[in-house]
Copies of this chain bind each other. A is one copy, B any other.
């Protein structure tokens, strides 16, 4: 017998038939002799509707009331899934965040879970009752409902799994796992059977939107094994049904590169003719930080004469207008500075913990892109990731070429 946490996202509980399907998944685990806690999202579209009600009243709203309104979506799903389980003669009950309780901090609208009182919950589960928890919510120190921010149900599930010391946290979603690349671009992309937390974090942060980053961080910290799998497809043959996200010591055969990710969420800014003096970077990035613009990749060219220099960096594409506004102010002080920008870029990354012990991985990436005539505009690296900024039109070509070059193609 294992203790499992099963999490169903919005598309997995979008309709009553979908909820019935989720109940079947739970029933199968019960039949296998496992004890189960379930964490549910709101029915697909419901949260958006509730948020729209709030913003229709006012663009600026009290996050306490926003929380009371939007948390109702998960409340509904928790009750409905409990009913669907009872229909299958499985003892089940819903748990709202305040009933467990799941204690959060006071930051309404994007609260963090501080503690989960697991005793009563666990005792109920061990007595054979499936616990169906409303995800995305908890109770704040003010005694009111708090929500965790969009996508927070993944975090709820991992936190509940940690509190219950569950054997695994299964995240049911509309894809059947994490892929070596976006299958819509690379038709030879393979599902990854096992991926490490570190790799998953890099994949998540560069565009593979399967799991919320926060939930992966929490799973890594709390050593919770996550499985990502589809609620709509049955596992074929002897394959693992989804992707396991685990500690790297549990992955026996390390690939050098586990996946190729890409993101079109960035824009590039180049500042020309900057005085090459100490403190100049601070005079640029200070005001951007004040404006809550998150600068990502940065590259500064060495100036031949040590007088002037060029600085290139990326910002979230949605923040480009604000960025240019801030830089207009900055340019009043840094006379002579010229601002160029482009939203016409994409970030392509190779990710793999094997990189740590292999040399020449980055070099291969640059060679492959050069052979295809793709110009690299900016480069950043971490211990297990190399990212390059390229012209957006080359995105698919770059991802496919790298996927093949690193031996990731299905059947290769």
Q: Which residues of A contact B (CB under 8 A)?
A: 16, 19-20, 50, 53-54, 56-58, 61-62, 64-69, 71-73, 75-76, 78-80, 82-84, 86-87, 93-94, 96, 98-99, 143-145
* CB atoms of B75 and A80 under 8 A apart: no
Q: In the assembled complex, which residues on chain B have CB atoms less than 8 Å from the CB atom of A96?
A: 68, 145
Please name 28 pairs of A and B residues whose Cβ atoms are closer than 8 Å in the assembled complex, sorted by A: A53-B76, A54-B79, A54-B80, A54-B83, A57-B80, A57-B83, A57-B84, A58-B83, A58-B84, A58-B86, A62-B83, A62-B86, A64-B93, A65-B79, A65-B93, A65-B94, A67-B79, A68-B75, A68-B78, A68-B79, A68-B82, A68-B94, A69-B75, A69-B79, A69-B80, A72-B72, A72-B73, A99-B144
CB distance from A193 to the nearest CB of B (A): 35
CB distance from A65 to the nearest CB of B (A): 4
Please give me the residue from chain B that is nearest to A94 by CB atom: B68
The residue in A66, A71, A75, A78 that gathers the most chain B C-beta atoms within 10 A of its C-beta is A75
Known contacts A65-B93, A94-B65; is A53 also within 8 Å of B80 by CB?
yes
The complex places the Cα of A68 from the Cα of B133 at a distance, in Å, of 12
CB distance from A53 to the nearest CB of B (A): 6
Supply 18 further A-B pairs (C-beta < 8 A) apart from A53-B80, A69-B80.
Answer: A20-B57, A50-B76, A54-B80, A57-B83, A57-B84, A57-B87, A58-B84, A61-B83, A62-B83, A65-B79, A65-B80, A65-B82, A68-B78, A68-B79, A68-B82, A69-B76, A72-B75, A99-B143
Find A76's partner among B20, B61, B72, B84 (CB 8 Å cutoff).
Answer: B72
The complex places the Cα of A87 from the Cα of B54 at a distance, in Å, of 11
* CB atoms of B75 and A61 under 8 A apart: no
CB distance from A12 to the nearest CB of B (A): 16
CB distance from A77 to the nearest CB of B (A): 9
CB distance from A409 to the nearest CB of B (A): 44
The complex places the Cα of A79 from the Cα of B50 at a distance, in Å, of 10
* CB atoms of B80 and A58 under 8 A apart: no
The complex places the Cα of A62 from the Cα of B90 at a distance, in Å, of 12
* CB atoms of A19 and B76 under 8 A apart: no
CB distance from A116 to the nearest CB of B (A): 17
The complex places the Cα of A83 from the Cα of B205 at a distance, in Å, of 34
The complex places the Cα of A58 from the Cα of B79 at a distance, in Å, of 13
CB distance from A91 to the nearest CB of B (A): 10
Find A16's partner among B53, B67, B79 (CB 8 Å cutoff).
Answer: B53
Q: In the assembled complex, which residues on chain B have CB atoms less than 8 Å from the CB atom of A71?
A: 75
CB distance from A320 to the nearest CB of B (A): 31
